[in-house]
Amino acid sequence: MRAWLFEEFVMAPLIPFHALFMGTAYSRRQNWSVVPTVCSKFGVPMATELRHVNSAMISAEALDRDYYFLNEWVKRLMDVAVAVLLLLLLAPVFVLIACAIKLDSPGPVIFKQERVGRRRRRADGTLEETFFTFYKFRSMYSNSDDSIHRAFVKKLIEDGSERKLASLKRDNTIYKMDDDPRITRVGRFIRKTSLDELPQLWNVLAGHMSLVGPRPALPYEVALYKPWHKQRLDVMPGITGLWQVTARSSVPFDEIIKLDLDYVERQSLLLDLKILALTPVAVISGRGAA
């Protein structure tokens, strides 16, 4: 570990001091922000360690991992190796699903959609969003109107700190709605079993996604984000992630983001392997689809 001095430290919480200190580990920078020089220079997500000095001061250290860039390369190699292996092993499953979709309803087998990827840093140091084409097996009738889902996501995010997912739907999947009239018969099955997610392995090979990471957000979802929500875009999105395997169906939207930020700060190969190992359990139990 290497400690860095802060170039800037901004604190603007409208909450008591003790609540700030006790709650920071859970709020994941919702009520405060730190901007160390190294973050601006390299764009590296960094964990921040707080220490209670006295009643009027908090000591904060931004810690980066010396192995971060090596860790990222190893993660990429693992992504490619696993994606290639799964594509080869699951080729017959791809064919069966494709045939079932074509027999069930007219339209393409693969559904394509624009999603938001990992943010990149401009020359002036500011961050900008990136976009990529996201692949899934089609589970809805062709040319379905997305206004229903837009309204659902808008309500969920705007009430993010209060409204619970369980009050809106029976599971914890933000990207999939219960009783959606747009879903086909085959679509209902492949969504429930997360088989519709398999084409995202091509996104992993293309370098747009990782096996593990926050779910790739929709552009109209990101447009509603609060500034602290956007920190989840600092890493490559993934097919599965910490929130999916934690699967707390009663948490508000803000809590989902905090789980994503927890992954951003604690990401490691060991954590990725743990999440990958827990994913089949989440899928079998019906909690892993997203």
Domain spans in the chain, listed from the N-terminal domain onward: 2-64, 68-284
Separation in Å, CA 215 to CA 99, 117, 243? 27, 9, 9
Mean pLDDT along residues 161-185: 59
- Per the DSSP assignment, residues forming a β-bridge with 285 are none
Residue 265 confidence class, pLDDT cut points 50, 70, 90: confident
Mean pLDDT along residues 122-130: 86
pLDDT higher than 50, residue 171: no
Edge-to-edge strand order for the sheet containing 47-54?
Answer: 2-4, 57-64, 47-54
Mean pLDDT along residues 45-69: 52
Residue 153 confidence class, pLDDT cut points 50, 70, 90: confident
d(CA 70, CA 77): 11
pLDDT higher than 80, residue 37: no
Mean pLDDT along residues 270-279: 93
Residue 176 confidence class, pLDDT cut points 50, 70, 90: low
Q: Tell me how many helices (H) and strands (E) the chain has.
A: 11, 11
What pLDDT, on the 0 to 100 scale, is given for residue 212? 96
What pLDDT, on the 0 to 100 scale, is given for residue 86? 97
- Per the DSSP assignment, residues forming a β-bridge with 212 are 240
Mean pLDDT along residues 109-122: 94
pLDDT greater at residue 122 or residue 24: 122
pLDDT higher than 60, residue 22: no
What pLDDT, on the 0 to 100 scale, is given for residue 15? 43
**pTM score:** 0.75
Mean pLDDT along residues 2-30: 46
pLDDT higher than 70, residue 69: no
Mean pLDDT along residues 146-161: 79
Return phi, psi of residue 4, to 5°: -125, 140
What pLDDT, on the 0 to 100 scale, is given for residue 271? 92
pLDDT higher than 50, residue 32: no
pLDDT higher than 80, residue 60: no
pLDDT higher than 80, residue 285: no
Q: Which contiguous run of DSSP H or E holds residue 92? A: helix 91-104
What percent of the chain shows pLDDT beyond 90? 40
Residue 156 has a CB neighbour count (10 Å cut-off) of 21
Q: Which of 251, 245, 213 is nearest to 232 (CA)?
A: 213
Return phi, psi of residue 278, to 5°: -85, -20
pLDDT higher than 70, residue 112: yes
